[in-house]
A and B are shown apart, each in its own frame.
Chain A
Amino acid sequence: MSIKFICSCGKHLRARDEMAARRSMCPRCGAPVGIPSLRPTHPGTPAAPLTPQERIRLNRNKPSVETASGAALALREKSTLGTLTGPRSPDDEPSPTPKVRRRRQLEQHWYQCLAYPLLSRNVLVCFALILSVGMGGIVLTIQNFPSFSPTTLSNWFPWVSSLVFVVMIAAYAYSTVECALTSALEGKGAASYLPSWSAADPLKSGMRWLFCFFAGPIVPVGLVVYFWLYGGDLTAIDWAIMTELGIVAAGYWFLVVICANLRNRLRDANPRCVVQLVQHLKYRAIVPILIAPTLALAHVLFGLFTLSLLHEHMFAGWLLLTGCLCSALFWSAFLFRLLGVWCYYTKP
């Protein structure tokens, strides 16, 4: 006797009984697929996998999980295949016109990764809006910040709390972008992945990014800030130096974040792992080394311009800042997804 089940790509599959409750690879899409268990999930129910008709009906009744509508939170969801061994109902009838929303596969081509940020557009735009309001608010009210002294600590409470709020939102945004990478590294198809709502995950993610920043990029970034501050009126040569340092900083940061996520080990955020990753990526390494930093620099410069504009034309400045943050989050999600997919296929 064999177990019949359907892969998320629609392929009808069959497995031997001894493979029950184990995982295998779909011969069509290559995605990992769970083989249903033979044991009942509830006492008294027959231990048999769902028929294709049952699966279709279940899909219709549970659209929030299986449809790629953007609402499914795959990091939170359990394996759908594990839940398919529910009780059969005697009045089950096959649907005459089954409309199955297929689970998306892992991207095969780079341009398919562009769909990832589009699937998460609502979340990313929300983050951009909240961040722009927070950043703009801080920039515009910075003149009202009380001078720091031990006697004025109570005056600082509203400012510190608003700052913490913005930092938390930023951490959530980082974490969401990181989901693009981690989900791809796990071979999960494109969907809208979100971190859990508990503050621990975003904080952990934010700390990982911060650790990766201190693991190298802080040096070129520090040099850029020092050079910008003490370089006098900047000439073309100065801008060339700062661009080079910025590219080094942003490129290394991208790579080191990927290294730390590959095996979920912070100790991998070191130059040796970065070099190994570049060797594995081969010509594709040009994306994290050159393209991503160039995009990052362009966004940083434009973001600084919009912050400056806020003082003179508040609404225009805020609108542009929101656009800049939206663009930054979209591009980040795309690039991390792309690199995650490449890393998944090349198995560094």
Chain B
Amino acid sequence: MKGPHWSWYLLIALVALAPAGIRLMTWPGFKRQAPEPQMVQAGQTLFVHEWKANDPLASGDGLGPVYNAASCVACHNQGGPGGGGDLTHNVTTFVYQSDAEAAIRRNPREGVVHAFAVNNFPRETLNHLHSDLPAVSQPRLDTVITLPGRTVSSNHCAVVRPVVQISQRNTPALFGANLIDSIPDRVIIANEKAQRLRWGFAPKKSEDLPVGRALRLADGRVGHFGWKAQSASLADFVQAACANELGLGNPGQTQPRPLSKPYYQPVSYDLTLEQCDQITAFVASLPRPVEKLEKSSLCSDALAGRELFKSIGCADCHTPNVGNVEGLYSDLLLHDMGQPLEGGGSYNDIPPLPNPNKPPSDPNDPPSPGEWRTPPLWGVADSAPYLHDGRAPTLEKAIELHGGQGTRAARNFASLSKTEQGQVIVFLQTFRAP
């Protein structure tokens, strides 16, 4: 009997191999590239520049009209330009519990209460958000949240929590940002899948197991930067920060409208895309944090601490390596840290309002108030205070305050002897700013 013509076999082979061929051509690799020196130089100038209203370097209205600092380096300065910031530079964010509540007060549903305003603009205060709140622009952290061991003050923001939730953000360090930017989305999603596999196919909305989720943005990209993983790239993160913190609108992010003048329209963008790219290039040029052992006597403690760090479950989320990036100690995933650490409010784009009664189940759901991106631990010794709003002055306190999916590791840490706890802290203190 005559068999099929050889071309049939060829056709079947081609059809079978076609998907693999298409996928190989579109397989995303690491996109790390060194920034150009001229761009870095120009970016450094912009990074440390003290911006003013109608600044000659800006095309529009310059600084403001509402802003949190006059320069990037004003906040990012711990351990050198690009580092983290202390509590005094915390940013206050808000989120209304419903669109109707925001519309009544003619405010955006989510945003930032800026600390300063240019001369002819009234400063934004908490009172703009709700009449029961005090007219302060820079509330202290203990008036926004209930710190452990503190009594609730009379002007505590918790009294309006059912209407508007107020929280703060601490300035993150930017060292090694280029390496984080180079991590492909698929690697972060791989962390998500690996954690599900590790915990017996546990769902992503697990309340106690450390199973995180990658935040998919509206355009399909995965969030890399920001406390809520709200920015997919370093360029996006820089553009959002320029607009929200300095009031420097740019093509990537418009500047926020003052709460006191919601109909204010800027004449044009303050920064061009090229200027944003220059700042991005400077941030990308910042070296990665290093692991330092100041005293050789601490070496054995640090090594023991490294083992304990893994064995008690810290490394489940603070993954030492992500893709080709070693020593990051973050999985770059969102983890639910429990009710005490909740904090809503978007930093740049306004995503759909999360339903507080429904844990996120869809990967495209916006972050819930309790979800935070695992912060990279590199350079952690030089970036106190800790947690998203800096409520933990020390590393021990930060570990103790871990809730939700971090409870297991915190409980394991608490069960260690004082010596072993000290070894873990010694290990963490080897992560220094460059």
Interface residues of A (CB under 8 A from B): 138-140, 142-143, 147, 149, 228-233, 237-238, 240-241, 244, 304, 307-308, 310-312
Q: How far is the CA of A240 from the CA of B203 in the complex (A)?
A: 24
Question: Measured between C-beta atoms, what is the minimum distance from A309 to chain B in Å?
Answer: 9
- Interchain CB contact under 8 A, A308 and B313: no
* One of A139, A147, A312 near B203 (C-beta < 8 A): A312
Tell me the dominant secondary structure on chain A's binding face. helix
CA distance A149 to B392 in the complex (A): 31
B311 contacts across to A, CB distance below 8 A: 147, 149
Indicate if B41 sits at the interface (CB-CB under 8 A).
Answer: no
Q: Which of A142, A230, A311 contacts B206 (CB 8 A)?
A: A311
The answer to whether B201 and A149 have CB atoms under 8 Å apart is no
- A233 touching B216 in the complex, CB below 8 Å, given contacts A241-B23, A311-B206: yes
Task: Write the chain A residue with the least CB distance to B204.
Answer: A308
Asked if B193 and A229 sit within 8 Å, CB to CB, the answer is yes
Q: In the docked arrangement, what's the CA distance between A317 and B97, Å?
A: 35
Instruction: Give the distance to chain B from A311, nearest Cβ to Cβ, in Å.
Output: 5
Q: Are A139 and B201 in contact (CB under 8 A)?
A: yes
Q: Which of B154-209 contact A (CB under 8 A)?
A: 184-187, 189-190, 193-194, 196, 199-203, 206, 208-209
Also in contact, A237 and B22, with CB within 8 A (given A232-B28, A244-B16, A311-B206) = yes
The reply to whether B201 and A232 contact each other, CB–CB distance below 8 Å, is: no
Cβ A230 vs Cβ B190 within 8 A: yes
Residues of A within 8 A of B185 (CB): 232
Contact partner, A307, options B23, B186, B201, Cβ 8 Å: B201
Complex contact A311–B201 (CB within 8 A)? yes
Of the candidates A149, A229, A240, the one whose C-beta lies within 8 Å of that of B19 is A240
* Residue in A closest to B209 when the chains form the complex, CB atoms: A143
Minimum CB distance partner of A227 in chain B: B23
- Known contacts A143-B408, A147-B311: A231-B186 contact under CB 8 Å: yes
Closest to B22 in A: A237
Give CA–CA (A240, B202) in the complex, Å.
25
Contact, CB under 8 Å: B209 / A238? no
Q: Tell me the complex Cα distance, A245–B196, Å.
A: 22
Query: Chain A residue with minimal CB distance to B412?
Result: A147
Tell me, in angstroms, the Cα distance from A216 to B149 when the chains sit together: 62
Interchain nearest-CB distance for A317 vs B (Å): 10
A19 CB to closest chain B CB (Å) equals 41
Given contacts A143-B209, A233-B189, contact A311 B313 (CB under 8 A): no
Closest Cβ of chain A: how far from B204's Cβ, in Å?
Answer: 10
Tell me the minimal C-beta distance from B95 to chain A in angstroms: 27
| Inter-chain pairs besides A142-B200, A147-B312, A311-B201, 14 sampled, C-beta below 8 Å | A143-B200, A147-B310, A149-B311, A229-B194, A232-B184, A232-B186, A233-B216, A233-B220, A237-B23, A241-B19, A244-B16, A308-B201, A311-B200, A311-B206
Give chain B nearest CB distance to A163 CB in angstroms.
Answer: 13
* A2 CB, nearest partner CB in chain B, Å: 46
Please tell me if B307 contacts chain A, counting CB pairs below 8 Å.
yes
A230 to B199, CA, bound (A): 18
In the complex, which residue of chain B has the Cβ closest to the Cβ of A152?
B311
